[in-house]
Structure 1
Amino acid sequence: MTVTSTPEPDDQHLQRNLSNRHIQLIAIGGAIGTGLFMGSGKTISLAGPSIIFVYMIIGFMLFFVMRAMGELLLSNLNYKSFIDFSADLLGPWAGYFTGWTYWFCWVVTGIADVVAIAAYTQFWFPDLPQWIPALSCVALLLSLNLVTVKMFGEMEFWFALIKIVAILGLVATGLYMVITGFQSPSGSTAQLANLWNDDGMFPHGLMGFFAGFQIAVFAFVGIELVGTTAAEAKDPERTLPRAINSIPIRIIVFYVLALIAIMAVTPWRDVVPGKSPFVELFVLAGLPAAASIINFVVLTSAASSANSGVFSTSRMLFGLAQEGDAPKAFEKLSRRAVPANGLFFSCACLLLGAVLIYLVPNVIEAFTLVTTVSAVLFMFVWTLILLSYLKYRSQRPALHQTSIYKMPGGRFMCYVCLVFFAAILVLLSLEADTRSALVVTPIWFLLLAVTYQFVRSKRQPRAAMDR
């Protein structure tokens, strides 16, 4: 009798259970974040109609970062995420810094999402304490992510689908209002001329234009999420290129057209910085029922982003534990091949969002503080992806020559993107509300540098014994 071996329940391998439709919608959902729905009101008030160019420039740059990541991930299918290729190409320190920073990125982003969810529930329940929906959201996401990775894929599929339908509906509604010359209760007429007839496209000058970059950068965090799904994608050589190549179309449809629709119907000076312009557009148009639906959409968007954070942080902890950079407890998988310990730990950290709401009652102030920290940390991760690509080009030219998915622009675009990120840091130092967050961020890297020395000292004796 032939005995076939079956994997143990705690088999230390992530399962490739994410299909093409999961990967495509995860990629789209990652590119439509809370920053667009919650933060675009503030960016419009800062930059006016020129915010359209801000989103286009950031999207253009990040497309090349994603192409660099795509070529690296497909150059070696043993790479499970960008932690692996950064550690392989730049050294163990890079894997340690990338993994833990990305984990912290999503914890901070998840806290921002929890803050946003608390704000959105105020639309229906103005008297409800804001920490209650924050706590409920974290508990729901934890329970769903503990099931299977396919459950995460299904949740993200439907979350992303809701966002896509809503934005397409908003664009179509805005177009209809412009064509029919819709008059809002405030007396303004829906027309494309609203984009330039009030002090032009740059009403606050170049400084206002530059000020729009901070929260706009945060709107794109998660665009690299498709890189953390590589280990659980059924056919990465087909699905990753398709997901990355569709980024420019997504940016034009979901950012540019949506913002044009908002500012054509609602003159930019009427956009309230502390509220979601997606909701406010329908309120001003006298459609409160539609506003309630859109509020539900932006709430699910925040939940989607938090869901992505819960998924990706648990996978980062799993990868770090496998390399000896995190406690071994995070390496253990549940019977459903899910890193449960990492999920519990990350969700516990997300509860800090409820604490932040208590300490900083002003939601938009708390949101700005958290999103700036998150944007800086994500730019660090994107920078290490580019540095890994430069190292790959110099050390492994043969792999690049045989690559089926070469990055356009190569080294030159890497340097352009690096200069762009440096310029963003300078811009963040110019505004008081973003400067404070920029000042405290180096504390995280100092903490990593100290803890890495400890981790390295533990590694060396083990390596010596192995030899």
Structure 2
Amino acid sequence: MQPSHSPNDASHQGNSAPLKRAMSTRHLVMLSLGGAIGTGLFLGSGEVIAQTGPVGAIISYFLGGLIAYMVMLCLGELAVHMPVSGSFGEYANKYIGPGTGYMITWLYWLTWTATLGTEFTAAALLMQEWFPHVSMWIWTVIFAALVFILNISSTRMFAESEFWLALIKVVTVIGFIVLGLMAILGFIPFHGMEHAPLFHNLTAQGWFPQGLFPIFSTMLIVNFAFSGTELIGVAAGETEDPAKNVPKAINAAIWRLLIFFVGTIVVISALLPYQQAGLSSSQVSSSPFVTVFAYIGIPYAEDIIRFVIITALLSAANSGLYAASRMMWALSAKKQLPQVFSKLTKSGTPIVAIIVTMFGAIPGLLSEQFAPETIFKNLLGIAAFTMVIVWTAICLCQFNFRRQWYKSGHKASDLRFAAPLFPITPILGFVFCVITGISMTQDSSMLPGFYSCIIFIALCYLSHFVFYKNKSSN
């Protein structure tokens, strides 16, 4: 017998108990910022500047923000119209096809499960710089336990913890941009320089010292930096009044991220020669943030930034475990996984889905024995590529949804939230995401991750075909 659903239920899929609507706009915005501000900004930004040069990096991040904004507008329209947990999989199922819906749900689960590995690995590497005699796997277990507890407590507790974890990094980024601009304009000293550098470093080596190609080859890193914004869509099913809160959160999050990312790149590029911005291979904490803070003269700059990056990584892992477990819950609610995966605790969290997703941290545990940086880069590549596929699907879903909407005699004005400039927005978002995905093949170190993703996608379609064949024959 199907349970009855109130309009406030998180899903209309006849699961044993609905997820609770416990999130406000404040939680949604910070969930989105928390998912996005992590390794991509604190560690990846220097890499992009080193490869593309300062002006190229600013263009890359601006383009990345524009792509993210187009995708989020498409997602906003779908999430307001159909606010369910496990959102993209549900939209792909309805507006592309059941096989693709199944694949996207699993792929998004893989995105965040792989990311869990990168976050725990990077956080453990950073802790080892403070405590070199403590084994990396001990830190990985401690961090995994902390994130696990925050996730199983309750949706409200998770949202609240994510709000404060994300706030630490937001305050750091704002402080970095403000102090950096003061140094650029000569209001505070910078590394013994008597004259304000202004923006000399931006073009000191020419506008595009490595040519234009690196702008496109680094797009995957840049897009990964903006990944996490789509968490708003996952959380729509657990949000109070999604029609009002989701569009507000999307606009607030994207504009803040653009200012944070582009502002950060401008500050780093103006203050440091671009060759100095990239990471050295030996230490993760040789982040451009540390260098700039140290040159400004802030005491314990390295320790402060290390602490902030660790909280950033834990915040991103916290968001990731939340997102991946909701995908598993959605598959179970549609009876594409055993019912045990949609089992909820009294506080409304999918306990079995959370436990199984935690096994995604295993690569982090292995990384001490097998080159941590190789594992880190490959996991990052898998997470970035799978994210791009999900974004591509979101654009296609919105395009198909809107065409169906018009065919059924409705107008755009009938929607509670309509993405502007249809069909340009979904088409451009789709094309840019495809180009970004293809760019992964240009980096030989990312090819193992690329092939792994292709095989995973093929296995998803194959298992869906077998599952439905068996189901129909039974």
Comparing 46-55 with 195-204, greater Cα deviation is found at 195-204
CA contact (8 A) 1:379 1:421 kept: yes
Runs of 4 or more above 6 Å deviation = 186-189
Aligned equivalent of 2:390: 381
Counterpart in the other structure of 2:232 = 226
Contact 2:88–2:233 (CA under 8 A) maintained in structure 1: yes
Correspondence for 2:371 among 357, 360, 367:
360
Partner of residue 309, structure 2? 298
SS class of match (1:246): helix
Report the residue type matching 2:323 in the other structure: S
Cα distance in 2, alignment partners of residues 190 and 303 from structure 1: 37
Q: Deviations over 1:147-190 (max 9, x none)?
A: 10111101110011111110010011111212227665587966
Q: Relative to 1, partners in 2 of residues 1:23 and 1:426: Cα closer, same or farther, differing over 3 Å?
A: closer
Match of 1:39 among 28, 44, 48: 44
User: For the residues of structure 1 that align with 2:195 and 2:34, how far apart are their CA atoms?
Assistant: 32
CA shift at 1:461, angstroms?
4.9
Distance 1:203 1:240, change over 3 A: same
1:84/1:21 CA distance change after superposition, 3 Å: same
Q: For 1:78 and 1:283, how far apart are their aligned partners in 2?
A: 46
Aligned equivalent of 2:30, options 25, 28, 37:
25
Structure 1: how far apart are the matches of 2:383 and 2:446?
A: 11
Identify the residue that residue 394 of structure 1 maps to in structure 2.
403
Per-residue CA deviations over 1:234-256 (Å, capped at 9, x if unaligned) read: 11111101111124421332101
Distance 2:461 2:128 in 1: 41
Shift of residue 277 of structure 1?
Answer: 1.4
Corresponding residue to 1:407 among 403, 406, 419: 419
Q: 1:245 to 1:137 in 2, by over 3 A?
A: same
Task: Return the offset for 1:272.
Answer: 3.7
Shift of 1:415: 1.7
How many residues were matched structurally? 452
Gaps of 5+ in 2: 1-8, 10-14, 281-285
Q: Residue in 2 aligned with 1:67?
A: 73
Cα 1:425–1:349 change in 2 (3 A) is: closer
CA displacement at 1:141 relative to structure 2: 0.8
Q: Check 1:296–1:190 CA distance in 2 against 1; reply closer, same or farther (3 A cut).
A: farther
Whole-angstrom distance in 2 between the partners of 1:40 and 1:309: 21
Q: Does the 8 Å contact 2:202/2:270 carry over to 1?
A: no
Q: Of the candidates 93, 96, 101, which is equivalent to residue 90 of structure 1?
A: 96
Q: 1:427–1:89: structure 2 CA closer, same or farther, 3 Å change rule?
A: closer
Scaled by the length of structure 2, the TM-score of the pair is: 0.90
Match of 2:443 in 1: 431
Cα distance 1:190–1:123, how it changes in 2: closer, same or farther (>3 A)?
farther
Q: 1:137 aligns with which of 140, 143, 152?
A: 143
CA-atom RMSD in angstroms: 2.2
Cα distance, 1:80–1:138 mapped onto 2, change above 3 Å: closer
Partners of 2:232 and 2:113 in 1: CA distance: 17
- Unaligned ranges ≥5, structure 1: 1-6, 463-467
d(CA) in 2 for partners of 1:63, 1:286: 36
**Aligned counterparts of 1:77 and 1:349: Cα–Cα separation in 2:** 27
* Aligned equivalent of 1:281: 292
TM-score (norm 1): 0.91
Cα distance change, pair 79–164 in 1 and its aligned pair in 2 (3 A): closer
- Of 171, 176, 201 in structure 2, the residue corresponding to residue 170 of structure 1 is 176
Q: Residue 144 of structure 2: SS of its match in structure 1?
A: helix
In 1, Cα distance between equivalents of 2:240 and 2:158: 15
Assess, with a 3 A threshold, how the Cα gap between structure 1 residues 78 and 104 changes in structure 2: closer, same or farther: closer
Equivalents in 1 of 2:368, 2:65: separation in Å?
A: 31
Evaluate the alpha carbon distance shift between residue 198 and residue 436 of structure 1 in structure 2; reply closer, same or farther with a 3 A threshold: farther
Residues of 1 paired with 2:312 and 2:212: CA distance?
Answer: 31
Partner of 2:430: 418
